[in-house]
Amino acid sequence: MDKIDSKNKKTVSSVDEDKRDFLFVTTAGLAIAGGGVTLWSMIDTMNPSKDVLALASTEVDLSPIEEGQSLTVMWRGKPIFIRHRTNEEIDDASGTDVTNLIHKATDESRVKNPKWLVVVGVCTHLGCVPLGQKIGDSKGDFNGWFCPCHGSHYDTSGRIRKGPAPLNLEVPPYEFVSDDIIRIG
């Protein structure tokens, strides 16, 4: 026993400290990196999957929508409000003084063709669907949309005018494929 002990002590004293540090750092470093990559690949499974992402674009034919009418379509599981605006509504939206708005944005910046307003029909407060798409719905104080959950009022450009919502109704990415067809997403 004694012999082994003294032998061990010898080896301990003659240990190559640099080599040990190197081994320690590389082992720990690789373990952290490998663990991190593995952990991320696990967490990432909870992000939107490919089939969910595949539903990310929708084409809509606008021709059946008469002036003054609205259409609601689904895009990424959310309602999209498409409104064929009347001249009055367009004038109302573009004539508003931008400086007084909660979330400042001109009407021009929110439309591609002023006749058509396309917005995500989800209140920017806590995600309810505002009223104003159906005939007889309350359109709020600014003749656009009204969210019944916590009382946000949106104007004919989908801009927040009154209530707790911090932002205007989001304009989704979309383009006119032809005069009457848009592709959302």
Between 142 and 146, CB nearer to another protein:
146
**In this complex, which beta carbon is closest to another protein, that of residue 133 or of residue 156?**
133
Nearer to another protein, 90 or 131 (CB): 131
CB of 170 to another protein, least distance (A): 10
Whether 128 contacts 146, CB under 8 Å: no
Yes or no: say if 110 and 76 are a contact pair by the CB < 8 Å rule: no
Confirm if 161 and 102 have CB atoms less than 8 A apart.
yes
Indicate the burial class of 174 (C-beta count within 10 angstroms; 0-12, 13-18, 19 or more). buried
Shortest distance, CB of residue 68 to another protein, whole angstroms? 21
Where does the chain have alpha helices with state H? 2-13, 17-44, 50-54, 87-94
The residues of the shown chain that bind another protein, judged by CB under 8 A, are: 46-49, 52, 56, 72, 74, 76-79, 125-129, 147-151, 164-166
Minimum CB separation of residue 168 from another protein in Å reads: 14
In the annotation, is 103 catalytic? no
Residue of 84, 103, 125, 150 marked active site: 150
Catalytically active residues, by annotation: 150
